[in-house]
Structure formats: structure tokens, C-alpha cells
Structure 1
């Protein structure tokens, strides 16, 4: 303890017995930046057939495992399938919720009429899944409806169940809640004399409250949370959760995703109600996928990029459906979405559904003034990473440090090293230019506290290139 520059943890200064004593110091071992593996949490409804208890998080590795844990055809099962399809190497944790006790399941109908005068097929699309039944000449509407119901029963992972009465097949969402209203139905008949008429899914009400599920995993440290619902109440609960876990006291930075298959106007209205730099919504107008499936696929693709500053432009979300031409947003609609907190998806070459530009729902500051500080979702992800890197370095280097006049300089040196390494990886830039702004000083009221101001000039994405071609004759 009498050395001016060397401190010992295990060798006391009071030794009198002769000997050569050497201890190991691992506090200086790590000189690199921490990794940035992205862990994803998804919340979804389970059926009574699922073996996993509600509000009990579990790691999920496959579609079939999710079917067993949460019930085949449950929203949790469909979310897991969408996520793993989009990113097979995803680190995925899921937590299930039961249906709300006061919930009402959405229903829809397919009505068959007529008697077949020739052969053909009656087809029913439920979301992106199609159910076909063969029709023979002289088959009645009642017999075709019964065959359609039997075919639906064989596809146990559909999000609906079916009952039949005469020529009417009634479809009921597996889960209670408004989310069931988003299940798309489409029917057609190629058999002469037989028609199929659809009444869309409706009357679903009262989705489960996500607050309990989010509270159960508040300490787990997930980086991306996918919401099964795209409504103001559910996403406000998610915003509250993200602000808590990501705040300066908890410091487990995370972002949230939701999916939006609806109109631009309603989507941007929802984004404006959230106005959060930690929530990003993928807009896929006209999609036959449920909101929860879009959110899950989007979250999985975000997790595939461990570089927090790298733009997500053009990344494919495998498994999402190719929408009809009439539903695909034109350039001006995409610009409108990007100015109003909604991330547009588009159908690219090869009919691949791609991210146009991943932005947050944050568009205005607390005064209602337009603010682009957290426009790109990469900005908050980069800030989270820089905080993590600085925090881990200080924890490793100074686990039992005394606070003397020499301490601030040592801490500042380590912080500067972290920022320099972040600059080498192009997470931040202009470290040398901003070095004077890196301040570490003793607190004026607490004798045991150091305060630091850490400038972080986040590297931006190259989203726009503009050029002019001059004609020379």
C-alpha cells in the first residue's frame, strides 16, 4: 500500500515473512469494445392448449416448440414463426398472456350458395393461408360448406376455428380481443353454380393488458421488444416500459416494434400518439399478415444487425406477404410516412419485402416543435451502445477505486479510449474535435462521486445521394 502507482487487492502491506508474492490483476485485460448481440422479447397470447404458463418467459428456438408452448395457431405461435422465418439465428425470448376475461372474440362468415353444375374448387384464404376444397357436379352449398369446415379443422395452426350450419361457415378467432379483427378473409369459387361470399372478421374487443407481462421481464435486459398489438393503449404501455428500463438508473437500453397493415392516415396518427424515440412501427399496407406477425418479423430483422449505427435500408423481412399493386405505397406516401413517424416497407426486386428506412415514432419535442434528433432508430441504438461501452469499461477498470485528485484523469483516459475505439468502428465520429468537451470532475456535494460529460457525435446513415449531370455538347 506504500507504492505510489501500484495497488494490491490480495497482498497486504503488513507482511513480514520473507517471500515473493504475486497476484493477478484482470481489470486491465479487456481493451476492446463489448459485443452487441441483440436479444428479442415478444409478448403474445396463448391458448389453453399451450404448456407454458402465462407471464413466465421462455427461450424459443423453433416454430414447433412455440406451438407446444403456446398452443398451435395462437398469436404467440404465429409471432415466433414469423420471427424465426425472418431471422433463423435469433436470440428469442417469449412471454405469453392469457385472453382478457372481458374480451370478445372476432367472428366472420363464409356463405356458400347454389348447387354445382360442374366441377371446380372453392378456396378460402385466412390471412396468408389458403384452404381449398374440391367441388363435384351436383354438390350442394351445404355439402361444400361442410367440406370447407373439415378442411379448416385439418389446419390446426390457423388463427381461427370453424363451425358450420347449412351453407354458412362461421369463423371465430382463437383469441379474444380486437386483434382478431385484423384476420383477413378472402373466398372464391371456380365451380359453376356455387358462390362464396365473405363477411369480414369483426366484433373482437378488449385485448389483454401488456403491463403485467412487461413488468415480469423488466429486469431481463432485452434489446428489442415486439408488441402483439398496434393500438394506443398497448403501445403506450410498451413506451412506459422502454422508458423505465432504458432510463439513466436502469440503463438496459431497448427499443420496441409494432406492425401496421392499415392505412397511412391511421398509422401516422398512431405514431403521433406515441412520439417515442424508442418505438418503431413497420407499415405494410394491405398485408394479409396480422400486426403481431409484422412486428415479429421486423424485430427479428432489426436484431440481425449488431452494428448499432448501420442503416437498415433494403433489409428483407422474409416471410411477409407480397401485397397487391394497389396497396403498395407510392413515393409521396412513403415520404409522408417518413415525416410522420412510420417506417414504410416496400416490395423490392424479386418480390422481396424490404425496409425503406427504419425510423422511430419521435417527431416532436416536448414543446411540439419538429425535432429530428431521434429520427432514425439507429440513433438511439447507437447511444445505448456507447453508454454500455463506457459503463462496462469503467466497471472493469475501477471496481474498487479510491477517489483522489488523480482519479478523474484516469477515468477520463478510459472514456476517451472507448470513444476512440467507437470511432474506429464508425459508431461515433469527430472524437478528437470534441475531446475538449469530455469532462470528468468531482461532484460538489457528494465527496464519493465523479461526474462525466461524454460527447457522442453519432455516425449518421447515408440515406440520400444527390447529383447533377451536366450535358456538354
Structure 2
């Protein structure tokens, strides 16, 4: 208490000793908007040989660190590698999970038959990884299978392990769980006299639950969460976590990314089961890259864009392979996906790169089942989160110990309008002047210590569609 327009934090009004006393006030120093650097959380399974135990949030800065922390060739190691390749400057925290106690590892086989009558190369493809050995005339199927198993043991980054028995290679997923069924395998041999037949990976069951892991980081605050578990159970747990952390009391809004490589029908069905404005699922049908690696790349690209209102259209997922032409999504299929809560990934004009068509969330209908586009684009919820952050930080800086008098509401309203105008300068919101009368700050009718605010926010939308008509004049 000092004078009607000047208050002091450290100079008391009761001093009587003569002097010139001056304190520093830093509450008015910050006049800009807060930074929007994106913190990424990656969930995934670890191997027993990893240095970091499960459920221990760990900052990771390189491929080599991820291999040491979580085991070389582990799901989490490969996800970190994919994320860094897609966005080298990503800020990553990893949270490892152990395989489920009741889990079963997926297996597949590559059966070699015959005896080589000439030289060549035998190849087993695991996703995009190749295991290759030279074949000489006279080598039997058993010889080649044993050589391939020996070579695979020298490639610890593989998502599977090899064992050979009488010409039959058995490939076993490094991790237990249903995700191992998604590993694509193929085999071939260029040496005459030898043939190869593959049975796909199958039999994997029971992925680990993520609820306990998410509880560990509930208070940490991350902007993008990448999950390998693209199923209703895992995504429901993630949805509950995001609703809690992104709610009005916790105010740590985040978005989540997952990816699929299967059918259009399975992707749209899953999106309908999730139906949430903070979760985005991408489909790259027919990709050989492991789905959780695609999820890591997709999440990394989301994190690479700090402007929350800027669309992600055409951004490339570096390191993700282009599927065969027959598997690529048609324009009609992309429209179906975009109407059903799935982000389509397509092959770029160079024929090899994979890029985002339009990043959307799985939210398509409201609780009544009525079609709702309010949170369709991923940019919308990211923009709202940033606006909340900017307003909250400004009010906290300006009014850390404010009294609530008749002068307080207009002062708070003025700061909110200043934030909105600065957001408009960056094309994050628009029409601030037109909506300024709707910005209201008023005392609560029940709590004498509470100030309420209404902040109309017209978010800037993405330019996704341009339509033109060309009139022919002769």
C-alpha cells in the first residue's frame, strides 16, 4: 500500500528513516508471447539388457544413447532413431515399458529348399532391414539357413532374432506382444537351385498396458506423445491421460500420434473408437517400415512445427519408405480417411518420399453422435493450447499478488487483449478487434476472491482447399 497508482513489493509504507529507496519491478518486463518449443514423450518397450529400468522418464539425445538405455534393437531404440531422423533437433523424453508378463512373441518362418547349382545371394528382408549372405554352388538349404542366422546375430538392431534348423529359419520378435505381428518379412535367393518360402509373422499376443506409465509422467508436461500401441485399449488409456492433463485444472495440453500400415477399414474403425481431438492417427498402407517407427517420425514432424496454426500439409517423414504403387492410397481413399478421422500419408512427387496430406485428429462426432468439425484439424487444439498458455503466463506475470478491486477487471482485460493482438500479428488468431467486446472480465457471483474471464478466440485456419473456375473466352 503506497498510493492510488503505485504499489511496492519491498518498500514498506511504514518506514520513517530519511532516504531514497528504489526497488525493481520486473512484472512489466515481458511484453512478448511465450516460446512454443515442443517437448516429445515416446512410449515403447525395452529389452532386458537396457541400462534404464522401466517406468523411468529419461532424456535421450542420440541413437547410441537410446541403444544403451533401452537395448539395441529394442522398440524404443528404433523409435528414437526414426524420430531423430525425421527431425534432428527434437527434444525427447523416453518412458520404457517391460514386455507384458502374459505376452507372447510373434514368430514367422523362412523355409529354404534345394541345393545351389550356382552362386548368388540369399536375402531375408525384415521390414526395411536386409540380412544377406553369399551362396556358393553346392550349398544346401541348411547351410544357407545357418549362414543367415549367423549373419543376423551380427545385426543387433533387427526387430527379430533368427534361429536355423534344417533349412528352416524361425524369426522371433524381440518383444512379446501383438505388435510383433506387424513386422513384415520376405525372403529370396538369386542362386539357382535354391528356393525360399515365407510364412508371415503371427501369434504375438498381449501388449503391455500404458496406464501405469502415463501416470508416472502425468505431472511432467509434454507437448507431443508418441505411442506404438495403435489399438482401442492403448488409445483409450492415452485419451484419458490427455483429457486429464489438458483439462482446465492441469492445463498441460498435449497431442498424441500413432500410425498404422494396414487396411483403410481398420484405420477408420479404430479412429471412430478413439474419437478424440488430441489424438491423431496416420495411415501409410503397405509400408515395410515398422508402424511404431512411422508413428515416431509422424510425431517428430508434428513437434518440428512450433507455429501451432500452421498446417503440416506436404511435410516429409524423412526415413519412411514409400509403399509399392499398388498399396498407395487413391484420392478417393484419402477423402474417406479425412472424413473418418485418419491422417493420410502419401508418396511425394519424387516417387520416394512420404509426406502428410492433412494432419487431422480422430475427433469426428460429438457425444450425441452428430458430425462435428470443431476439432478436425490438429492445428485447432494446438492453437487453443498456445492461446491458453500465452494468456495464463501474461496474467501470472502481471498479477502475481494482485488485490481484487474494481480496478482489477479492466486491468486484466487489457492484458488479455494485448495478448490477443500479439497473437493476431503472428496470424495465430484473427478478428480480435471485431470480437473485443466479447472479452469480459468480471467478479464471480459466489467467490469474492475470484475473477472470471471470457475470451472469444477466432483461430486462424489452414488453407487446405483452393477452388477456381477458368472461363474459356473465344
Q: Given the two structures, how large is their TM-score scaled by the length of structure 2? A: 0.99
Identify the residue that residue 340 of structure 2 maps to in structure 1: 340
Structure 1 distance, partners of 2:354, 2:2, is: 66
Query: How much does 1:349 deviate?
Result: 2.1
Kept in 2: contact 1:132–1:148 (CA 8 A): yes
> Secondary structure of the equivalent of 1:240?
helix
Structure 1 distance, partners of 2:240, 2:297, is: 23
Structure 1 distance, partners of 2:369, 2:442, is: 35
Query: How much does 1:229 deviate?
Result: 1.1
Identify the residue that residue 407 of structure 1 maps to in structure 2: 408
Q: Deviations over 1:141-173 (max 9, x none)?
A: 000100111111111100111111110010110
Identify the residue that residue 38 of structure 2 maps to in structure 1: 38
Structure 2 distance, partners of 1:303, 1:2, is: 47
Identify the residue that residue 275 of structure 1 maps to in structure 2: 275
Query: How much does 1:418 deviate?
Result: 0.4
Kept in 1: contact 2:2–2:8 (CA 8 A): no
Kept in 2: contact 1:51–1:68 (CA 8 A): yes
Residue correspondence of structure 1 range 281-292 to structure 2 within 5 A: 281-292=281-292
Q: Deviations over 1:391-414 (max 9, x none)?
A: 000000000000001100000000
Structure 2 distance, partners of 1:352, 1:35, is: 31
Q: Deviations over 1:264-286 (max 9, x none)?
A: 01000000000000000111101
Structure 2 distance, partners of 1:470, 1:144, is: 67
Structure 1 distance, partners of 2:333, 2:286, is: 14
Identify the residue that residue 447 of structure 1 maps to in structure 2: 448
Identify the residue that residue 470 of structure 1 maps to in structure 2: 471
Q: Deviations over 1:231-265 (max 9, x none)?
A: 11001111111111000000001000001111101
Identify the residue that residue 233 of structure 2 maps to in structure 1: 233
Identify the residue that residue 315 of structure 1 maps to in structure 2: 315
Structure 2 distance, partners of 1:165, 1:131, is: 17
Identify the residue that residue 53 of structure 1 maps to in structure 2: 53
Query: How much does 1:133 deviate?
Result: 1.2
- Coordinate RMSD, CA, aligned: 0.6
Residue correspondence of structure 1 range 59-98 to structure 2 within 5 A: 59-98=59-98
Q: Deviations over 1:47-94 (max 9, x none)?
A: 001000110011111111100000001000010000000000000110
Structure 2 distance, partners of 1:162, 1:298, is: 30
Q: Given the two structures, how large is their TM-score scaled by the length of structure 1? A: 0.99
> Secondary structure of the equivalent of 1:471?
coil
> Secondary structure of the equivalent of 2:433?
coil
Kept in 2: contact 1:287–1:322 (CA 8 A): yes
Identify the residue that residue 177 of structure 1 maps to in structure 2: 177
Q: Which runs of 4+ in 1 moved over 6 A?
A: none
Structure 2 distance, partners of 1:98, 1:70, is: 10
Identify the residue that residue 364 of structure 1 maps to in structure 2: 365
> Secondary structure of the equivalent of 1:393?
helix
Identify the residue that residue 200 of structure 2 maps to in structure 1: 200
Unaligned runs of 5+ in 1: none
Identify the residue that residue 417 of structure 2 maps to in structure 1: 416
Query: How much does 1:2 deviate?
Result: 3.5
Does structure 1 residue 395 correspond to structure 2 residue 386?
no
Structure 2 distance, partners of 1:284, 1:413, is: 47
Structure 1 distance, partners of 2:61, 2:310, is: 26
Structure 2 distance, partners of 1:295, 1:248, is: 28
Identify the residue that residue 151 of structure 2 maps to in structure 1: 151
> Secondary structure of the equivalent of 2:432?
coil
> Secondary structure of the equivalent of 2:315?
coil
Kept in 1: contact 2:82–2:293 (CA 8 A): yes
Structure 2 distance, partners of 1:323, 1:229, is: 21
Structure 2 distance, partners of 1:40, 1:469, is: 46
Residue correspondence of structure 1 range 123-162 to structure 2 within 5 A: 123-162=123-162
Query: How much does 1:122 deviate?
Result: 1.2
Identify the residue that residue 17 of structure 1 maps to in structure 2: 17
Structure 2 distance, partners of 1:428, 1:224, is: 22
Kept in 2: contact 1:214–1:241 (CA 8 A): yes
Does structure 1 residue 264 correspond to structure 2 residue 264?
yes
Kept in 2: contact 1:229–1:291 (CA 8 A): no
Structure 2 distance, partners of 1:371, 1:87, is: 32
Structure 2 distance, partners of 1:67, 1:2, is: 61
Structure 1 distance, partners of 2:76, 2:442, is: 49
Pairs aligned (count):
473
Identify the residue that residue 224 of structure 2 maps to in structure 1: 224
Identify the residue that residue 429 of structure 1 maps to in structure 2: 430
